[in-house]
Amino acid sequence: MDWGLLITFATTFASILALPGPNAAFAVGQSLRYGARKSLAVAVGFMLATCVHGILVLSGLGVLIQRCAGALVLLKWCGVAYLVYLALQAFRSGVNIVTVSSQTMTVSKMMLSAMAVSLTNPKALLASLMIYPLFITSSGTYISQALALMTVAMAISFSIYATYIVGASKLGKHLRRSEWANKIVASFYLGAAGVLASKST
């Protein structure tokens, strides 16, 4: 694949992904609650969701999903409900949110939670539908180009959300023993739910 085209794709994809949204708010909330080391599983989950979006779009299934408005609406509200549920859990936790919560939240659960948040965000799929086809050309094989684009997208996804997580964890060290810690974490989850709910499908 042409390197210039790949760099342009990487720049475009990164600029879209870096904008604060439901995924970023979820990543920050998890980092504040569980710390950076454990929350890197969130970045892995988002990376895997990026892979799923790429497969859906590049296989043509994404177009079918896009045409089914009801499916997109259902996805969105499932995501909103899940984020509100996480917010309620955070509100009900004890003051020391790390020691109370980290015992029950495994790395695999955290990764799957991140995938659930990302995959129930219709805008993520629609953005992929708009971007990927622009960078597929007739000069190379379809599969090699698709794999190159997906690999770059996954690397960018992990890097951006890992940056959010590490940055938030530094703030989290000062908040975890505060009586406001749970409320702050819950506000990130509710903020993510609000952003997702406000987006039209």
- Is residue 19 one of the residues assigned to a domain? no
Greater model confidence, 187 or 104: 187
pTM (global) more than 0.85: no
From the list 122, 152, 188, the residue with the least C-alpha distance to 13 is 152
Query: 25: burial class by Cβ within 10 Å (0-12, 13-18, 19+)?
Result: buried
pLDDT over threshold 60, residue 176: no
Cα–Cα distance for residue pair 193/84, rounded to 1 Å: 6
Confidence band for 99, pLDDT divided at 50, 70 and 90: very low
- Distance CA(186)–CA(181), nearest Å, equals 9
Band of pLDDT at residue 201, cut at 50, 70 and 90: low
Q: What is the pLDDT of residues 145-165, one digit of tens each?
A: 889 999 999 999 999 999 999
Domain-embedded: residue 20:
no
Res 66 pLDDT > 60: no
Average pLDDT on 50-64 reads 79
Q: Which residue has the higher pLDDT, 118 or 83?
A: 118
Q: Is residue 9 part of a domain?
A: no
**Residue 19 clears pLDDT 90, i.e. is over it:** no
Q: Which band of pLDDT confidence, cut at 50, 70 and 90, is reported for residue 63?
A: low
Which residue range is the domain that position 53 belongs to? 41-198
Q: How confident is the model at residue 65 (pLDDT cuts 50, 70, 90)?
A: low
Asked whether residue 36 is assigned to any structural domain, the reply reads no
Distance CA 126, CA 163 (A): 24
DSSP output for 166-192: HHHHHHHHHHTTSTTHHHHHHHHHHHH
For the residues of 134-147, what is the DSSP string, one character each? Answer: GG--TTS-HHHHHH
CB-neighbour burial class of residue 145 (10 A; exposed 0-12, middle 13-18, buried 19+): buried
Residue 8 lies in a domain: no
pLDDT at residue 40, rounded to an integer? 95
Largest CA distance in the chain: 59
* Per-chain mean pLDDT for the chain: 79
Q: Is residue 99 part of a domain?
A: yes
CA 14 to CA 110: how far, in whole Å? 23
Q: Are the beta carbons of 95 and 181 closer than 8 angstroms?
A: yes
Give pLDDT tens digits for 110-123.
999 999 989 988 77
**What is the predicted pLDDT for the residue at 102?**
52
* Model confidence pLDDT, tens digit, residues 84-98: 877 777 676 654 444
Question: Is position 5 within any domain?
Answer: no
pLDDT score of 103 more than 50: yes
The total number of structural domains that make up the chain: 1
Indicate the helix (H) or strand (E) that contains 1. Answer: none
Per-residue pLDDT, 130: 81
35: left (phi over 0), alpha (psi -120 to 50) or beta: left
Look at residue 125 in the predicted model and tell me its pLDDT.
79
Residue of 39, 4, 19, 29 lying closest to 124 (CA atoms): 19
Pick the closest to residue 79 from 129, 114, 31, 27 (CA basis): 114
